Amino acid sequence: MPKPVLSLHKLDAHYGDFQALFGVDMDIAAGEVVAIIGANGAGKTTLLRSIAGLLKNQAAQVTYQGDAIGALRADLVAHKGIALVPEGRQLFPSLSVEENLQIGAHTGRAGPWSLDKVYGLFPILKERKDQASTTLSGGQQQMVAIGRALMANPDVILFDEISLGLAPVIIKSIYDVLPNIVGDGMTALIVEQDISKALSVSSRVYCLQEGRVSLTGATNTISRDDITRAYFGVG
């Protein structure tokens, strides 16, 4: 693998006395699209939140472009070029669609993404730009959450459960535009419950089981049986 842009080194995570991640190692190369799969509670969200600076780590447990960033605050991680599309969208309900999108731009990072480009990706958001985000459908809110992350002009984008709770037709429309997001060299980590979806867009996969990496490899070399074993710990 070329020199990784993002690495995890024996990453642990705790919620009080409860340990959610145990010594997770991960190397992600620039431009890779990597799927993180695993059953409910395996630690996928915790992993993304740790990278995004939303959980306390030791500095050296996360390195990004050669810097130890594991102890940085979330806003500083965002400034460095890592953006999270959080589970459940987490939009500001009292703000309009456009205001929610603008929040992503607070990093001040230069890059290809602008309001116009986000509206080009999701034209419905331009039609709804002055509406409160709460008046949108779940799928449209997910588009806002993705657009907000893109407005930060990240180098790495972390997607947490982008299809959770959405109708199949909406999920398809979101996955249809993913190549436009990750196509020009953006690095992406995609947490996804739907294994087929995750494998269809990624070149490499990590499976988590009870807070540990149970399987990793190139998507096209991993069998369904491997995944079943790694996912459920059976077989």
Binding residues for ligand ATP, per CB under 6 A? 15, 18, 20, 38, 40-46
Q: Cα dist. 118→38, 50, 143, 147, 204 in Å?
A: 30, 27, 9, 6, 27
Report the distance separating Cα 125 and Cα 131, nearest Å.
9
Minimum distance, C-beta of residue 167 to ligand ATP, in the bound complex (Å):
19
- C-beta of 179 vs 233, nearer to ligand ATP: 233
By C-beta, is 99 or 194 nearer to ligand ATP? 194
Q: Long-range contact list for 173-178, CB < 8 A, 24+ apart?
A: 173/139, 174/139, 174/142, 174/143, 174/146, 175/200, 175/201, 177/121, 177/122
- We find the least distance from the C-beta atom of residue 44 to ligand ATP, in angstroms, to be 4
CA dist 158 → 16, 39, 198, 207 (Å): 25, 18, 13, 16
**Closer residue to ligand ATP, CB minimum distance, 125 or 145:** 145
Could you tell me the smallest distance in angstroms from the CB atom of residue 48 to ligand ATP? 8
Closest to ligand ATP by CB, 101 or 199? 199
Shortest distance (Å) from residue 124 CB to ligand ATP: 27
Comparing CB distances to ligand ATP, the nearer of 43 and 104 is 43
CA 220, CA 203: separation in Å to the nearest integer?
7
Q: In angstroms, what is the minimal distance from the CB of 20 to ligand ATP?
A: 4
